[in-house]
Structure 1
Amino acid sequence: MTTPTTISSSGEATASTATRMLTFAATACLVVATVGQWLFGIYILLFYGKTTLTGDFARWNRVLPHGYVEGDWKGNLIVGSHVLLAAVLVIGGPLQLMSPIRQNFLRFHRWLGRTYVTTAILVSLAGLIMVWTRGTIGDLTQKISISLQAIYIISFALLAIRAARARRFDQHRAWALRLFMVTNGVWFFRVGLMGWLLINGGPVGFDPKTFTGPFLTALAVFTYALPVSLLVLEMYFHAQKKPDNTFRFITAAFIFLCTVIMAIGIFGATVGMWLPRI
């Protein structure tokens, strides 16, 4: 005969397992993302930093169509600043999320946070200018999606600042995590694209010359305009707050799936894009 104590113990064990699964999934996702972002940051510094120091700006166009336009020093400055400041975001962002740094190096965390927020706003504004003035490849949906991403970045950055100043640190953490997700939209897009190319063995669902097609349109929408990364984060927040073990298991499984896809994309981007260009 089952006793109430047995039922209670079983429920507590299930809840504990669900919580551990959720925590492990989130930790694994952060570790994989950190490795991928730091690889991207190293690529930015070695490729764009080297070409900038040597004055070989024309090499930008091998990666960014119309990235360098001879005689347009203002536009070139915006592009260069946008790309090099992105290194601050992909290297500094994961550091902001690491508990040991927040707990043991609070002053560093605060200054890095201020730098991160300011840089995110500047990079998003520079990205807007590039998209609408530089004749970048891609369709209108991609450009609109990127513009919406810039609005997210600026809004979340200001909300994170306001919460920190009001010493509402739980809200600050939530808005900072949302900012981290949308700020890395370009990184998610590249990783998603390279993962797709790796899985399919080449471009499927888009024209690589015009950089248009249904796959790229969908990728832009679900990376920038309606970011799946935010959906995953909101599911994680909800799973943490609500004592629903089934939802916690589902969320953990979804995070694991996204982590696996992200790992495939990181591998594809590293061997197919970043390393060959360094």
Structure 2
Amino acid sequence: MNLTARSATIITASTDPSNKLLRWAAIGWFVVAIIGQLLFAVYIVGFYGGTAVYGNIAEWNEKITHGFSEGATVSNLVVGIHLFFAALITLGGPVQLISGIKRKYPVFHRRNGRIYVMLTAIAALTGLYMLYAHEGAGGAVSRPAMTLEAVLILLAGVLVWRFAVARQFRRHEAWAVRLFLVASGVWFFRVILMGWMLVNGGAVGFDPETFTGPFLDFLSYAHYLLPLAVYELYLWAGRSSHASVRYAVVGLLVVCTVFTGVGIFGAVAGLWLPAFS
């Protein structure tokens, strides 16, 4: 391809309406996700922080397995750190991906990015401690799934840092999004679960009493691998020379946005608000 033809291809790609639609579809999902994550952060701070302030830490066991153990100072401290950092991660992650903030406040973006990477690493390590310090925690399916999730968080954090230092900003940005997605796994799990229940009109594919079943086995991996897969499709569509590919991914993102909104509503109504009653 000669220079003229290549330039024409670039201009055509940049002005193709499918490119704008793809970008706006991604922004639409991100806005909905930010709202959901803010609500999740309010829940974490309000419930876990509130019960800790009023000396009712034992209530953590109603929401998480081995949340509080009488006399287990180290274990309780690790759980507390994990929950506190989870709230900070939920608040700090979306901020890193807002392009306007990156452009106008580069120093803040760099400092917040370093903090975010460190917090996600600590949250992953404390999560692994919580998983393996208690015999039988996690179960045969979810334990390896959560282990892989923690490993991916650590790997993505290393690559985010590495490409930032190397000033390879495209790769840095791509890995920052991947880190955000996998580090938001706890949030995704709840949103997908509640969205699934609302769409199906109840618990389908699992027993709500024992909280076991094939759907939950699937969700153990899907709650972070599916968002990563959709993001890879988004990147692929952006590189594709076929507008039809971009339109298809736009449709997928619209479906994901609607489902995310439904899942957030379900999580707020069925999980987070009842915790304060």
TM-score computed with the length of structure 1 as normaliser: 0.91
- Compared CA separation, residues 12 and 163, structure 1 to 2 (3 A): closer
Give distance in 2, aligned partners of 1:61 and 1:200.
Answer: 28
Indicate yes or no: 2:235 matched with 1:228: no
Distance, in Å, in 2 between the alignment partners of 1:269 and 1:276 is 10
Q: Partner amino acid for 1:170? A: R
Whole-angstrom distance in 2 between the partners of 1:262 and 1:169: 29
Instruction: Flag structure 1 segments of 5+ consecutive residues without an equivalent.
Output: 1-7
Quote the residue 2:56 is aligned against: 56
Q: Say whether the 8 Å CA contact 1:15–1:245 is kept in structure 2.
A: no
- The residue identity in structure 2 corresponding to 1:252 is V
User: Take 2:39 and 2:67, find their aligned partners in 1: how far apart are those partners?
Assistant: 22
> 1:85 maps to which residue?
85
Partners in 2 of 1:182 and 1:91 — Cα distance? 15
Q: Which residue of 1 aligns with 2:161?
A: 161
User: Any idea what SS the aligned residue of 1:134 has?
Assistant: coil
1:139–1:212: 8 Å Cα contact kept in structure 2? no
* 1:270 matched residue in structure 2: 268
Instruction: State the 1:200 CA deviation.
Output: 2.8
Q: Distance in 2 between matches of 1:268 and 1:136?
A: 29
Q: Using the TM superposition, give the Cα deviation of residue 13 of structure 1 relative to its aligned residue in structure 2, in angstroms.
A: 9.7
Alignment-mate amino acid for residue 262 of structure 2: I
Give the conservation status (yes or no) of the 8 Å contact 1:195–1:268.
Answer: yes
Q: State yes or no: 1:180 paired with 2:185.
A: no
Q: Determine the structure 2 residue equivalent to 1:26.
A: 26
C-alpha distance in 2, partners of 1:180/1:141?
Answer: 24
- Find the aligned partners of 1:13 and 1:143 in 2 and give their Cα distance: 44
Q: Distance in 2 between matches of 1:34 and 1:122?
A: 22
Query: Percent identity of the aligned residues?
Result: 43
Cα shift at 1:202: 2.6
* Counterparts of 2:31 and 2:158, CA distance in 1: 27
Matched, 1:252 2:232: no
Structure 2 residue ranges without an equivalent (≥5): 1-7
C-alpha distance in structure 2 between counterparts of 1:64 and 1:100, whole Å: 37
SS at match of 1:206: coil
AA matched with 1:214 = P
- CA–CA distance in structure 2, aligned partners of residues 45 and 197 of structure 1: 26
Q: Secondary structure at the match of 1:71?
A: coil
Q: Is the 8 A contact 1:26 1:255 kept in 2?
A: yes
- Match of 1:239? 237
Deviation at 1:15, TM superposition (A): 6.2
Corresponding position of 2:152: 152
Q: When the two structures are aligned, how many residues end up with a matched partner?
A: 267
Equivalent residues of 1:138, 1:210 under 8 A apart: no
Match of 1:205, SS state, is coil
Corresponding letter in the other structure for 1:179: L
Distance (Å, rounded) in 2 between the aligned partners of 1:191 and 1:114 = 27
TM-score (norm 2): 0.91
